[in-house]
């Protein structure tokens, strides 16, 4: 069907998408880069002088930047750890024969479909409130003094909430990959004398290695941009205890109206995400057979 | 395991998995319970809450009586459906051409499109915000719809592409041998076979747009805020609000939970970009 | 009606020449089989005739008219695909009706032809089912039915029996042959199975790497293969090809003798050897014999009564009238 006429028709059909995405990518991106080199503050009219690398310098040397990077790292790796290991266990469990598989799957998957703001508010108020929340009551019920989760362990609390939301994602992906494992391979290994641990380690895990990598890469890209949960629970505080890179840039741009600095931060965030994206694209590319 | 497993093993597995499922699902279950209680009862100790006798729908009516709740609910509906429909308009021809008239660039174009989804939104927050401000798009549903369409376009194209590719080429060739023109081939053979895939794509996209919580929080204020932003007005540091927050939350997440039930497979396909089969 | 001629037809994919310039004539009403190993270009050739691929150069004529640039829909041919390619969302009735709908035939005419095809193919009970509810053999028949109602100039079959199990294949083979006798329409049939080729064809076209090695009736190809390739491809088990000193005895680079043309004896014969694997089917016995002085083992087909087993000494005598001689270039020496 690949005649000259259909080729040019095809090019026509694909152009709106390409143009839109190109515009979406290039225009704001160039603007961000451009602004990052200006002294540009929305509250100060007449600003817009060339700043050179100053914005970058001040952004990086600000102590809140190191905090933000540290928090981002802790947040992302914390969630990755919990969701990957938890997701693996859940997938292995759900792969087994049981009653009511459908219902149990729905219960495990459901958290992913709750909007982030609802999820954050529900956890903060109904569960982690030191007095009235369920966790709070458990703590006092056991005889300990009440714990202000968001005051004393803010980053851990947020990590917990985000993990709850993303665990279903990891579970679903790993379960799908697990179910594509050829049963006969496992049966052959049983004939060869392998027990469960051997089968898991030498057959299931290598098969899942790909899916685990994909889960980690995709989650990383999305977790770098965690925003709503922080905004709605702690506003980045106390101090900068729960400020990640995304939140820091938000504060700089929309709260302090320092567009120049915010843009510099934005460029850094993009570079960071790109590093992860390169690895992910390579994995996707291998599977694509256009 | 293809072998028959004893009922005892199955029961043990069910117990363990059921517990984990219950724990994961508990928060959602809990807000449903709380939404049906009075505010005074909602903040009592959990067991007391559960077994207190009064079940009431008053929180739901209070929430709905706030006229702006309905407005923001409809904002969510409009931007979800709007961005999906707009996205389909652009994605269907693109996916069609890439699936059925591929060139040697097709793979690269597809990968490039997917890579745009990996751009951290905060990197373009500033210019988008300023552009929206200058074009009077801040706090408008139109502006929000456009942004949501753009961020999900790669996924829509990608999913449609995979569904189109799954249609066996031989069936389309058979239609051609049977005398069908291109129009007839698309109308009578291709489209009916592509409808399930399109439905799945629509479902997934509505879910993603409804739950989006970056642009919807930063580009809206009072008028165009969808539920993601609006729900925050239900948690106040002073005063009783558990039941109301629960009721508002239940109404906000219910549609998506139902859709999510039907779209598990699509989720895997759409969000792993085919890297996992 | 139904005469197809290929003149210097060539096909390249990018820069790879899959079919060098080729000439072929298919007469009206003939059952022609394209046969050859995987990748030999037989399916490509079929698709060129169908119009699903464009020729790189050369002409295709259908009934004297140049059809090289005619789209597949307008060539008046019908194709039965290997995967049947039925429309999954349409009932059997609608599947069969589809080509007639495209040709804008009247409702009455459509119904008439559907019923006739369904009766001929035993599909009357299944007309309202969807393809997903049918077995492989039934789907095959629906695909054929869809082709029949077009009343085409020629039928094109692309390995239609490959997806069926062995028993079904034998039955369908006969049905297709009967169909050909009944309809008396040209049929071009692609397969890699030489048994299908031998049993169904009026004329066989043997292809290798896009080149026609030989065209002829089944018996012609069996009795007088033009070269070593055709000799080894047609006939099962394969013809034994012997080189070296034994071949030189017959003034040839290679000699060939079919397994069924060797006499077997435990006492005496021209070639002495040891039996390796022996296969006893009851009706026949196949012996794989290592003959002294021959590089490759010889396959022999003997009667079911023959009583030779692994390790036995055995004597083979080729029928001198049925020895094929080939030169160093692989071509037949008369």
Chain B residues 61-80 within an 8 A CB cutoff of chain A: none
Lowest mean pLDDT among A183-192, B30-39, B47-56, C234-243: B47-56
Between CA A108 and CA B16 the distance in angstroms is: 12
Task: State the nearest Cα–Cα gap between C84 and chain B, in angstroms.
Answer: 8
| 3-state SS assignment for residue A110 | helix
Summarised one tens digit per residue, pLDDT across range A184-196 is 888 888 888 888 8
Would an 8 Å CB–CB cutoff place B213 in contact with chain A? Answer: yes
Mutation choice for C interface testing from B104, B170, B174, B190 by most C CBs within 10 A = B174
Between CA B258 and CA B26 the distance in angstroms is: 17
pLDDT reported for residue B221: 83
Angle at A207 between CA A203 and CA A209, to 5 degrees: 120
Would an 8 Å CB–CB cutoff place B47 in contact with chain A? Answer: no
Taking 60 as the threshold, does the pLDDT of residue A289 lie above it? no
Alpha helices in C155-244 (DSSP H): 166-183, 194-200, 218-223, 228-233
Question: With contacts defined as CB-CB under 8 Å, which chain B residues touch C88?
Answer: 171, 193
Q: Please state the pTM of the whole predicted model.
A: 0.80
Mutation choice for B interface testing from A3, A36, A126, A196 by most B CBs within 10 A = A126
Contact call for B171 and C79, based on CB within 8 A: no
- Could you give the domains of chain C? 4-230 (3.40.50.300), 239-326 (2.40.50.140)
Chain B residue with CA closest to C150: the answer is: B178
Question: With contacts defined as CB-CB under 8 Å, which chain B residues touch A96?
Answer: 1, 13, 17
Task: State the nearest Cα–Cα gap between A96 and chain B, in angstroms.
Answer: 7
Taking 60 as the threshold, does the pLDDT of residue A165 lie above it? yes
Contact call for C73 and B177, based on CB within 8 A: yes
pLDDT reported for residue B1: 46
Return the domain boundaries, chain A: 62-257
Confidence label for B64 from pLDDT (cuts 50, 70 and 90): confident
Between CA C291 and CA C177 the distance in angstroms is: 41
pLDDT reported for residue C11: 93
Hey, which chains touch B, using 3+ CB pairs under 8 Å?
A, C
pLDDT reported for residue B179: 87
pLDDT reported for residue B237: 64
Between CA A236 and CA B59 the distance in angstroms is: 31
Q: For the structural domain made of B68-235, what CATH number should be given?
A: 1.10.3720.10
Question: With contacts defined as CB-CB under 8 Å, which chain B residues touch A93?
Answer: 13, 16-17, 20
Chain A residue with CA closest to B271: the answer is: A218
Taking 50 as the threshold, does the pLDDT of residue A218 lie above it? yes
Nearest to B247 by CA among B4, B30, B47, B44: B30
Question: With contacts defined as CB-CB under 8 Å, which chain C residues touch B192?
Answer: 89
pLDDT reported for residue C297: 92
Contact call for A134 and B128, based on CB within 8 A: no
Segments in chain C below pLDDT 70: none
Omega of the bond leading into A238 within 30 degrees of 0 (cis)? yes
Task: State the nearest Cα–Cα gap between B163 and chain C, in angstroms.
Answer: 15
Mean pLDDT value across chain B:
86
| 3-state SS assignment for residue C160 | coil
Taking 60 as the threshold, does the pLDDT of residue B133 lie above it? yes
Summarised one tens digit per residue, pLDDT across range A224-271 is 999 999 998 888 878 888 999 999 999 988 888 888 888 999 999 999
Contact call for B94 and A109, based on CB within 8 A: no
Confidence label for A1 from pLDDT (cuts 50, 70 and 90): very low
pLDDT reported for residue B67: 66
Would an 8 Å CB–CB cutoff place C149 in contact with chain B? Answer: no
Task: State the nearest Cα–Cα gap between B118 and chain A, in angstroms.
Answer: 6
- Closest partner residue to A98 (CB to CB) among B13, B119, B228 is B13
Would an 8 Å CB–CB cutoff place B211 in contact with chain A? Answer: yes
Question: With contacts defined as CB-CB under 8 Å, which chain B residues touch C87?
Answer: 171, 174-175, 189
Task: State the nearest Cα–Cα gap between B200 and chain A, in angstroms.
Answer: 16
Residues of chain B with CATH 1.10.3720.10: 68-235
Contact call for C78 and B177, based on CB within 8 A: yes
Task: State the nearest Cα–Cα gap between C143 and chain B, in angstroms.
Answer: 10
Start-to-end Cα distance in chain C? 38
Alpha helices in chain A (DSSP H): 4-36, 54-61, 63-94, 101-109, 116-122, 134-141, 149-152, 154-179, 183-191, 196-199, 205-223, 228-233, 245-250, 259-287
Contact call for A1 and B101, based on CB within 8 A: yes
Cβ–Cβ under 8 Å, residues B244 and B62:
yes
Question: With contacts defined as CB-CB under 8 Å, which chain B residues touch C81?
Answer: 170, 173-174
Q: How many CB atoms lie within 10 A of CB C29?
A: 16
Write out the H or E segment, with its range, that includes residue B88. Answer: helix B67-100
Task: State the nearest Cα–Cα gap between A71 and chain B, in angstroms.
Answer: 16
Would an 8 Å CB–CB cutoff place A284 in contact with chain B? Answer: yes
Contact call for C81 and B174, based on CB within 8 A: yes
Contact call for C78 and B168, based on CB within 8 A: no
Chain A residue with CA closest to B11: the answer is: A98
Evaluated on CA atoms B212, B157, A221, A109, the torsion sign reads: positive
Would an 8 Å CB–CB cutoff place A210 in contact with chain B? Answer: yes
- Closest partner residue to A28 (CB to CB) among B128, B213, B264 is B128
Chain B residues 176-205 within an 8 A CB cutoff of chain C: 176-181, 184, 188-189, 192-193
Cβ–Cβ under 8 Å, residues C37 and C208:
yes
Crossing angle (nearest 10°) for helices B264-271 and A154-179: 100
Taking 70 as the threshold, does the pLDDT of residue B142 lie above it? yes
Beta-carbon contacts of residue B42 (< 8 Å; ≥ 6 apart) = B34, B49, B240, B242, B243, B246
Mutation choice for C interface testing from B178, B194, B198 by most C CBs within 10 A = B178
Would an 8 Å CB–CB cutoff place A24 in contact with chain B? Answer: yes
Question: With contacts defined as CB-CB under 8 Å, which chain C residues touch B193?
Answer: 88-89
| 3-state SS assignment for residue B189 | helix
pLDDT reported for residue A288: 64
Taking 80 as the threshold, does the pLDDT of residue B46 lie above it? no
Chain A residues 158-187 within an 8 A CB cutoff of chain B: 164, 167-169, 172-173, 176-177, 180, 183, 186-187
Task: Give how far the C-alpha of residue B214 lies from the chain's centroid of Cα atoms, to the nearest Å.
Answer: 14
Crossing angle (nearest 10°) for helices B67-100 and B106-116: 160
Confidence label for A290 from pLDDT (cuts 50, 70 and 90): very low
Query: What is the average per-residue pLDDT within A121-138?
Result: 85
Q: For the structural domain made of A62-257, what CATH number should be given?
A: 1.10.3720.10
Taking 90 as the threshold, does the pLDDT of residue B37 lie above it? no
Question: With contacts defined as CB-CB under 8 Å, which chain C residues touch B102?
Answer: none
Lowest mean pLDDT among A140-144, B82-86, C315-319: A140-144
Taking 90 as the threshold, does the pLDDT of residue A167 lie above it? yes
Summarised one tens digit per residue, pLDDT across range C70-90 is 888 888 899 999 888 999 889
Mean pLDDT value across chain A:
87
Taking 80 as the threshold, does the pLDDT of residue B219 lie above it? yes
Confidence label for A148 from pLDDT (cuts 50, 70 and 90): confident
Crossing angle (nearest 10°) for helices A101-109 and A63-94: 180
């Amino acid at each position: 069907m690949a005649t000259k006429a259909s080729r040019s028709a095809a090019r026509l059909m694909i152009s709106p998408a390409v143009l839109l995405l190109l515009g979406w990518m290039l225009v704001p991106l160039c603007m961000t880069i451009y602004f990052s080199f200006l002294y540009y503050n929305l509250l100060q009219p007449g600003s817009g002088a060339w700043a050179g690398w100053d914005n970058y310098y001040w952004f990086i040397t600000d102590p809140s930047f190191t905090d933000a990077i540290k928090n981002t790292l802790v947040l992302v790796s914390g969630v990755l750890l919990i969701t990957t290991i938890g997701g693996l266990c859940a997938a292995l469990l759900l792969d087994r024969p049981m009653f009511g598989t459908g219902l149990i799957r729905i219960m495990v998957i459901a958290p992913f479909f709750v909007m982030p703001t609802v999820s954050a508010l529900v956890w903060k108020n109904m569960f982690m409130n030191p007095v009235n929340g369920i966790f709070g009551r458990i703590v006092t019920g056991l005889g300990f003094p009440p714990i202000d989760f968001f005051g004393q362990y803010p980053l851990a609390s947020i990590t917990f909430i985000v993990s709850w939301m993303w665990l279903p994602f990891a579970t679903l992906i790993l379960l799908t990959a697990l179910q594509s494992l050829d049963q006969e391979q496992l049966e052959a290994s049983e004939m060869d004398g392998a027990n469960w641990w051997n089968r898991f380690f030498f057959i299931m895990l290598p098969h899942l290695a790909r899916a685990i990598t994909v889960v980690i890469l995709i989650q990383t890209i999305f977790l770098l941009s965690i925003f709503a949960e922080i905004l709605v629970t702690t506003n980045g505080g106390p101090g900068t205890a729960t400020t990640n890179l995304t939140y820091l840039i938000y504060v700089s741009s929309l709260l302090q109206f320092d567009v120049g600095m915010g843009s510099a931060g934005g460029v850094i965030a993009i570079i960071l995400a790109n590093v992860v994206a390169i690895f992910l694209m390579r994995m996707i590319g291998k599977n694509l057979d256009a | 395991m293809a072998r028959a497993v004893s009922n005892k093993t199955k029961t043990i597995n069910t117990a363990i998995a059921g517990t984990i499922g219950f724990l994961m699902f508990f928060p959602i279950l809990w807000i449903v319970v709380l939404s049906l209680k009075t505010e005074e009862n909602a903040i009592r100790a959990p067991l007391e809450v559960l077994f207190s006798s009064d079940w009431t729908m008053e929180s739901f009516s209070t929430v709905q009586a706030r006229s702006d709740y309905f407005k923001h609910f409809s904002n969510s509906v409009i931007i979800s459906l709007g961005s999906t429909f707009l996205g389909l308009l652009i994605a269907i021809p693109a996916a069609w051409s890439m699936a059925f008239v591929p060139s040697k660039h097709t793979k690269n174009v597809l990968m490039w499109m997917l890579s745009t989804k990996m751009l951290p939104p905060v990197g373009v927050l500033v210019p988008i915000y300023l552009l929206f401000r200058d074009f009077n798009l801040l706090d408008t549903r139109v502006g929000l719809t456009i942004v949501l369409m753009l961020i999900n376009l790669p996924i829509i194209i990608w999913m449609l592409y995979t569904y189109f590719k799954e249609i066996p080429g031989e069936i389309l060739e058979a239609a051609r041998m049977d005398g069908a023109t291109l129009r007839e081939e698309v109308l009578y053979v291709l489209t009916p076979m592509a409808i399930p895939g399109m439905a799945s794509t629509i479902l997934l996209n509505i879910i993603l747009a409804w739950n989006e919580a970056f642009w919807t929080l930063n580009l809206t204020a009072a008028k165009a805020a969808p539920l993601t932003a609006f729900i925050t007005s239900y948690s106040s540091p002073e005063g009783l609000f558990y039941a109301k927050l629960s009721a508002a939350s239940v109404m906000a997440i219910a549609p998506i939970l139902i859709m999510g039930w039907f779209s598990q497979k699509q989720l895997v396909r759409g969000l792993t970009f085919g890297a996992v089969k | 009606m139904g005469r197809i001629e290929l003149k210097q037809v060539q096909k390249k994919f990018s820069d790879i020449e899959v079919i060098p310039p080729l000439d072929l004539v298919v007469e009206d009403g003939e059952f022609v089989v394209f046969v050859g190993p995987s990748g030999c270009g037989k399916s490509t050739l079929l698709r060129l005739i169908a119009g699903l691929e464009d020729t790189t150069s050369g002409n295709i004529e259908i009934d004297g008219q140049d059809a090289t640039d005619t789209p597949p829909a307008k060539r008046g041919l019908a194709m039965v695909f290997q995967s049947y390619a039925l429309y999954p969302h349409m009932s059997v009735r609608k599947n069969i009706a589809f080509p007639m709908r495209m040709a804008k035939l009247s409702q009455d005419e459509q119904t008439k032809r559907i019923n006739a095809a369904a009766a001929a193919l035993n599909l009357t009970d299944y007309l309202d089912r969807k393809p997903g509810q049918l077995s492989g053999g039934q789907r095959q028949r629906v695909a054929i039915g869809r082709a029949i109602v077009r009343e085409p100039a020629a039928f094109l079959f692309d390995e239609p029996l490959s997806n069926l199990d062995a028993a079904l294949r034998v039955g369908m083979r006969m049905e297709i042959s009967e169909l050909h006798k009944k309809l008396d329409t040209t049929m071009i049939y692609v397969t890699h199975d030489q048994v299908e080729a031998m049993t169904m064809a009026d004329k066989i076209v043997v292809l290798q790497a896009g080149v026609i090695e030989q065209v002829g009736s089944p018996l012609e190809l069996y009795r007088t293969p033009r070269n070593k390739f055709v000799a080894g491809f047609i006939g099962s088990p394969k013809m034994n090809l012997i080189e070296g000193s034994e071949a030189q005895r017959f003034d040839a680079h290679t000699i060939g003798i079919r397994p069924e043309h060797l006499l077997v004896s435990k006492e005496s014969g021209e070639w002495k050897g040891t039996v390796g694997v022996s296969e006893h089917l009851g009706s026949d016995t196949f012996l794989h014999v290592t003959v002294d002085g021959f590089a490759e083992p010889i396959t022999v087909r003997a009667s079911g009564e023959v009583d030779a087993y692994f390790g036995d000494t055995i004597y083979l005598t080729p029928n001198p009238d049925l020895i094929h001689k080939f030169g160093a270039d692989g071509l037949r020496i008369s």
